Copies of this chain bind each other. A is one copy, B any other.
Amino acid sequence: MHKKLFIPGPTEVREEVLQKLATPQIGHRSKEFQELYSSIIPKLQKVFYTNNKVILSTSSGTGLMELATRNFIAKKALGTICGAFSDRWVKIARANGKEVDVIEVEWGKHMPTEEIDKKLATGEYDCLLYTHNETSTGVRNPIEELSEVMKKYPDVVWCVDAVSSAGGDLLKVDELGVDFILTSTQKAFALPAGLAIGVVSEKALEKSKQVPNRGYYFDIQVFMKYDGRKQTPTTPAIPHLFALDYQLDRILEEGMENRYKRHLEMAEYVRGWAKQYFDLFAEPGYESVTLTTVANTRGINVAELNEELGKRGKMISNGYGNLKEKTFRIAHMGDLTLDEIKELLNDIEEILGL
């Protein structure tokens, strides 16, 4: 039996979208491909409210985290650790020989804008690594607030990991002034894993030209060269491109504002439920709209709960790393509906006898 996925990626993909993966293959240097590429890019620009360049990377989002560190750090980066994935980004930068200082907060807390401001004011940094939605903790960092501060630092390339928020949460890239935003398809876009999406500003593109040792597979300049031909640098995940093109029509038909409202509505419902029976792990006021991390205040056996849910054709996530069994995560992202969320929570109540 298929388990419907309420985990923070991969998320549930609708049957009609899955079917698009099975489209017969085309050559990646053909006119048909250029048409597909030219159809996808403007739709993604709409999703991100941007006129910036968009890249399609056959990799997971982690690949584009690596791209950010190899292309946009010439001097020293400021990393901002508030969970497992923001921590990984710093590790990736260092694994690529880059110098990084960090601000670190307790898991579950948000990244304070004023701390970032204070650090950047030293003039030591030319790149900021910022996680919009920390998948391990369910914290949504205050990107709109930071946006105001970043106007003071035109020499800093602002990179944002939006892996578990883009496509569900609202991210108006041009308004925010983000220089590089990255995401992948298996989260709020409700597509399978295997493709990552980046949006890059002119400023970041110019900056990257001065950064040595960018490699090839994740060299943003190579992406730009092929973008001019409406192609990707190497043979991409063509099945995903067919599905993405189709899914973007569905997303834009719903509308980004409506999509955000639906995500917020699901989030508020899950938060209410969590407060009634357990507690929220994320700091109040900084809860994600795409996933909720529930503090396991009742000491239930999360793995067992998930076993039982599996028999009912559903799956949630245990806590991440050290948060295993101390928390559990319910994703309400992508194409999931409030009705499906209600059904899941009813099942949990029944299983736990709440």
Contact A97 B213 (CB under 8 A): yes
* A195 cross-chain contacts in B, Cβ below 8 A: 194, 237
Decide yes or no: A13 and B27 within 8 Å by CB, A58-B193, A92-B216, A194-B236 being known contacts: no
Interface stretch among A17-25, A39-47, A123-131, A337-345?
Answer: A17-25
Partner of A60, one of B58, B65, B91, B96: B58
User: Which residues of B are found within 8 Å of A218, using beta-carbon distances?
Assistant: 217
Tell yes or no: A168 within 8 A of B by CB: no
Flag if A2 contacts B19 (CB, 8 Å).
no
CB <8 Å contact, B193 and A96: no
Q: Taking the complex as formed, is A255 at the interface, i.e. its CB lies under 8 A from any CB of chain B?
A: no
**A216 lies within 8 A of B96 (CB):** yes
Q: In the complex the two chains form, what is the Cα distance from A19 to B25 in whole Å?
A: 12
Chain B residues near A62: list those with CB within 8 A. Answer: 216-217, 233-234
Interface code A192-220, partner B: CB below 8 Å = 1, 0 otherwise? 11110000000000000000111111110
Residues from chain B with Cβ under 8 Å of A12 in the complex: 25
- The yes or no answer to A276 lying at the interface (CB within 8 A) is no
Partner of A5, one of B27, B88, B192, B234: B27
Mostly, the A contact residues are loop
Q: How far is the CB of A30 from chain B (nearest CB, A)?
A: 7
A175, B301: Cα distance in complex, Å: 50
Q: How far is the CB of A165 from chain B (nearest CB, A)?
A: 16
Report yes or no: A95 in contact with B194, Cβ–Cβ below 8 A.
Answer: no
Query: Residues of B contacting A212 with CB < 8 Å?
Result: 97
Say whether, besides A59-B59, A66-B215, A237 and B27 are in contact (CB < 8 Å).
no
Q: How far is it, in angstroms, between the C-alpha of A57 and the C-alpha of B70 when the chains are bound? A: 19
**Bound state CA distance, A192 and B24, in angstroms?**
9
CB A170 to nearest CB in B, in angstroms, measures 24
Say yes or no for A184: interface residue by CB 8 A criterion.
yes
Alpha-carbon distance between A194 and B3 when the two chains are bound, in angstroms: 25
The answer to whether the Cβ of A171 comes within 8 Å of any Cβ in the partner chain is: no
A63 within 8 A of partner (CB): yes
Q: Given that A10-B235, A58-B58, A59-B59 are contacting pairs, would A92 and B215 also be in contact in the complex, using a CB cutoff of 8 Å?
A: yes
A124 to B280, CA, bound (A): 60
CB-nearest residue of chain B to A30? B315
Shortest Cβ-Cβ A-B pairs, 10 listed: A194-B237, A60-B234, A193-B235, A21-B21, A18-B22, A62-B234, A92-B216, A2-B24, A10-B25, A66-B217
25 contacts between A and B (CB under 8 A): A3-B32, A5-B25, A10-B27, A10-B235, A13-B25, A18-B23, A19-B22, A21-B22, A25-B186, A58-B59, A58-B60, A59-B217, A60-B217, A61-B235, A63-B217, A66-B216, A95-B215, A96-B213, A97-B213, A184-B235, A193-B236, A193-B237, A194-B194, A194-B238, A217-B218
| 17 more CB-based (< 8 A) A-B contacts, given A19-B22, A66-B215, A95-B214 | A3-B32, A5-B27, A10-B28, A25-B186, A25-B192, A25-B193, A27-B317, A58-B60, A61-B234, A62-B216, A63-B234, A66-B216, A92-B215, A95-B213, A193-B235, A237-B237, A239-B239
